[in-house]
A = this chain, B = another copy of it.
């Protein structure tokens, strides 16, 4: 038996709560993946994705996998045995990139950074004279750090630039074309306000030309996927059955964001993040991410000495139905991650989490 319905305030690193338009769309009648009405929906979805990616790439589409599947698609389509991949690592998701690139057969050159610090483009660009790909995370979900990827695009030379935009897409400025991003992947469950399950994906013509022509993965082969979704050719070939309900939800989320105005939504995320940081510091807490590189969508804050991180999170869940995140990796019990993403990026959410957190620290 399904349990009694429980609502949560999802103020962790994701999933966030959904926009109400998304919830409604998920319960639309299902339409077949080859139905003309669905094809129109898919086209509108791909067009909306171009807007939030800041791209005109024809191959911009929702992959039928989560963000981690998008990460795998980025590498399996660009690197194979012996290709050199320079990967900036300043958190868990940079590390995951290295592991996935290794499994694709790439020779991985990782450029390590202290967690909490942004990517140092100069060091990354100096790591190898002519790598096949350079990869970095725009918004590190594990540390709450925003990195400037534009210098990587400017200095990449012949390399393809792969960027993880999981925690920026739909809430922060993201200009894939202007910044020289060749392959971008993201997820739906953070600033887009859609449940997890799809990966917004974009590939430049340049990257498509230089793709691995017979990649190890059939499911994520962009050469085949391009024939069905995000087609540049005008004709469509069945590849796999699209996750139609999730795509209806994504379409509704994109429509909501673009109707509100992408700049307005971004400003809402900036304001919520700023007010949250101020409030946490006013409580005497210390922020984790380096100053000047703090994500508005996801704030990391140090757990005060003597406070039981897990007990505070449990108190918030039990007393307020609020979820915040533990830290990642070595910081699991010494950092909290607080997301203000999608519909949660507003002043009410900030007040709610600040008040509840203060009580939880005092009483947990």
- Whether B195 lies near A246 (C-beta < 8 A) is yes
Which residues of B sit under 8 angstroms from A143, Cβ to Cβ?
Answer: none
CB distance from A43 to the nearest CB of B (A): 12
Which residues of B sit under 8 angstroms from A96, Cβ to Cβ?
Answer: 218
Scan residues 187-203 of chain A and give those whose CB is less than 8 A from a CB of chain B: 187, 189, 195-197
Given A12-B32, A65-B64, answer yes or no on A244-B3 (Cβ-Cβ < 8 Å).
Answer: no
CB distance from A47 to the nearest CB of B (A): 12
- Whether A245 lies near B240 (C-beta < 8 A) is no
Given A7-B29, A72-B217, answer yes or no on A196-B243 (Cβ-Cβ < 8 Å).
Answer: yes
Interface size on A, residues (CB 8 A): 70
Which residues of B sit under 8 angstroms from A65, Cβ to Cβ?
Answer: 64-65, 69, 219
Q: Pick the most buried of A40, A96, A218: most chain B CB atoms within 10 A of its CB.
A: A218
The answer, yes or no, to whether A210 is at the interface (CB within 8 Å) is no
The answer, yes or no, to whether A128 is at the interface (CB within 8 Å) is no
Which residues of B sit under 8 angstroms from A30, Cβ to Cβ?
Answer: 8, 10, 15, 17-18, 189, 195
Nearest residue in B to A105 (C-beta to C-beta)? B216
Q: 7 closest Cβ contacts across the A-B interface?
A: A197-B243, A195-B245, A68-B240, A27-B27, A26-B26, A7-B29, A72-B219
Between A and B, 20 residue pairs with Cβ closer than 8 Å are A2-B255, A3-B40, A5-B29, A8-B29, A10-B30, A10-B32, A15-B241, A17-B29, A26-B27, A27-B27, A35-B317, A64-B197, A66-B241, A71-B219, A72-B219, A76-B217, A195-B245, A196-B242, A196-B243, A196-B244
Nearest residue in B to A248 (C-beta to C-beta)? B2
Which residues of B sit under 8 angstroms from A33, Cβ to Cβ?
Answer: 15, 196
CA distance A98 to B100 in the complex (A): 24
- Whether A243 lies near B66 (C-beta < 8 A) is yes
Nearest residue in B to A99 (C-beta to C-beta)? B218
Which residues of B sit under 8 angstroms from A64, Cβ to Cβ?
Answer: 65-66, 69, 197
